[in-house]
Structure 1
């Protein structure tokens, strides 16, 4: 016969072992360092397909009129989510439809050494859906 404590322990193990489903696209946090201090880079959710709900847009359009956060040449940008995606792709956008894939390692990427404004699209895929985020930096 099972004791109450055995049943409670079993239920606790089950609840801890199953990951909680995301109800909506998770928040993206992006940051870099300037003189040793963390610098948060604003991000926007631009497109997603989540639980049957879809939106359309893109990083280029979302940041077209905005100034980028100033970072130093060859700075590292660290990106994080409350729950890591199963797949992650970082793109540097050159127009509304043009982009190049950026090398991403351990949720970090390096901005160019050349001064200028750069728009990035960060695409994440989770079991619950797909989301595309944008951010903009100015290398100076």
Structure 2
């Protein structure tokens, strides 16, 4: 008899836990579905060098979206590209190598070279490709991806050998 009471208690407890974990918004939509709606989105960015793909490190971002009659916005402040570069393994390249930049959902892209702790100059892109310098050294780049509802700053580092 005690075993039957224990089984019934476990079943009731299981229903309570399940019932508590699924909630709805004001329109009857399950909150679990809202949790899967990634906001802010995690847009990955890559550089492709000689057929090898390397992920760029994301930094600052800002996103906004309409939710009914309201606008939801998220803005972050991260380390600067020169600070991010300290922990970034440089990508070894040959002088004048060609780098292709690939970012999810094809945003408008701007690229900047960083010198010491500041943005030095904008780098000219041709079809999301850039040529690295011919001089040996370590170079820090910031890639700014802009979508209609947000933007993300990415960093990558190359070592021209």
Instruction: Please indicate the TM-score interval, normalised by the length of the shorter structure.
Output: 0.7 to 0.9
Does 2:84 match 1:71?
A: no
TM-score (norm 1): 0.75
TM-score (norm 2): 0.66
Counterparts of 1:26 and 1:67, CA distance in 2 = 21
Runs of at least 5 residues in structure 2 that lack an aligned partner in the other structure: 1-37, 65-72
2:41 pairs with one of 19, 24, 39: 24
Runs of at least 5 residues in structure 1 that lack an aligned partner in the other structure: 1-20
Paired position in structure 2 for 1:10: none
SS at match of 1:112: coil
Does 2:113 match 1:100?
A: no
SS at match of 2:84: helix
Query: In the comparison of the two structures, how many residue pairs are matched?
Result: 115
Counterparts of 2:152 and 2:128, CA distance in 1 = 16
Instruction: State the structure with more CA Rg.
Output: 2
CA RMSD, Structure 1 to Structure 2 (Å): 1.8
- Runs of at least 4 residues off by over 4 Å: none
Greater relative CO (CA pairs within 8 A, separation 6+): 1
Mapping of residues 56-135 of structure 1, within 5 Å:
56=77, 57-85=79-107, 87-135=108-156
Counterparts of 1:130 and 1:77, CA distance in 2 = 21
